[in-house]
Structure 1
């Protein structure tokens, strides 16, 4: 069983072990979340040169795990990925084993963000194609940029109102949000 959570790890150190295409995708994901990324691999995909990462062209060493909050094992060697994963687990870091997600403690969901709304989809199984298809379907439903900001401003105004006026304003906002998604007026938002 997994815990679904969105973590704010901005500024935290992350280690990516591996220099291929999978490591590159994981590094971009970590950078997009604001982590400080170090990449360790004897050879690096050329696109790493354009990323703001600390790149060390050498084999992985267990000491590379010191102080890391997030670790990604993304080499083409199962033995190295297993060693990185075991070491990261022992060090208490969140770790993604790119070859077998069940061996790590961190999975990367298919995620989409638009208009201040972020949605992440995971199948809980090894079906990334399903998660990606669901992400695409959900993306089409997300509000346009600015809409969420307008709803948030309305909510902030509503909570400043006294008693019944506050409840009426919140009910109207709830109805507008539900209507925007083609939902009936009942139910909580």
Structure 2
């Protein structure tokens, strides 16, 4: 699969995260840092998710939950729900299915930041842990510049 690399301005834009577990908590953290308006649809929230910083819909996913979203993250451990999210999404909505990169519109990259620039690192969805390792090494180099 060939991917097109971009950086997206999601400041003050609606983003919906389906699921409230550990994977969702990591996505939500970076979405909030980017200034997104995050709605979480999940019957539970991981301890790392600050319920005061998101709009939490305390129930399982239902068709219609994606209506206003610009970006969608399907972060459940249930393949059928993640696939339903993909099917329910409007063609103008980009969906990240965290359980299946082949059934996603996009996946996240690691980013090493410096004062004036950012370097994106991707293993093409094969190893997020390896991306994180490379990011840490690059951050050390960038700090020296």
Query: What's the TM-score once normalised by structure 2's chain length?
Result: 0.91
- How far off is 1:51 after superposition? 5.1
Instruction: Indicate the residue corresponding to 1:141 in structure 2.
Output: 141
Instruction: Indicate the residue corresponding to 1:160 in structure 2.
Output: none
Q: From the superposition, tell whether residues 58 and 108 of structure 1 become closer, same or farther in structure 2 (CA, over 3 Å).
A: same
Instruction: Indicate the residue corresponding to 2:106 in structure 1.
Output: 106
Ranked by relative contact order (alpha carbons within 8 Å, sequence separation 6 or more), the top structure is 2
Instruction: Indicate the residue corresponding to 2:16 in structure 1.
Output: 15
Instruction: Indicate the residue corresponding to 2:69 in structure 1.
Output: 68
Query: Contact 2:15–2:70 at 8 Å: present in 1 too?
Result: yes
Task: Write the distance in 1 (CA, Å) between the matches of 2:130 and 2:47.
Answer: 30
Instruction: Indicate the residue corresponding to 1:115 in structure 2.
Output: 115
Give the gaps of 5 or more residues in structure 1: 145-179, 181-189
Task: Write the distance in 1 (CA, Å) between the matches of 2:138 and 2:95.
Answer: 27
**Aligned partner of residue 67 in structure 1, secondary structure:** coil
- Deviating 4+ runs (over 3 angstroms): none
Q: CA RMSD in A?
A: 1.6
Q: From the superposition, tell whether residues 125 and 55 of structure 1 become closer, same or farther in structure 2 (CA, over 3 Å).
A: closer
Once the two structures are superposed, residues 127-180 of structure 1 have per-residue CA deviations (whole angstroms, 9 ceiling, x without a partner) of: 222211211111111146xxxxxxxxxxxxxxxxxxxxxxxxxxxxxxxxxxx5
- How far off is 1:59 after superposition? 0.9
Instruction: Indicate the residue corresponding to 1:159 in structure 2.
Output: none
Structure with higher helix content: 1
Give the gaps of 5 or more residues in structure 2: none
Task: Write the distance in 1 (CA, Å) between the matches of 2:109 and 2:128.
Answer: 8
**Aligned partner of residue 49 in structure 2, secondary structure:** helix
- How far off is 1:117 after superposition? 2.3
Once the two structures are superposed, residues 45-64 of structure 1 have per-residue CA deviations (whole angstroms, 9 ceiling, x without a partner) of: 12323551001110111111
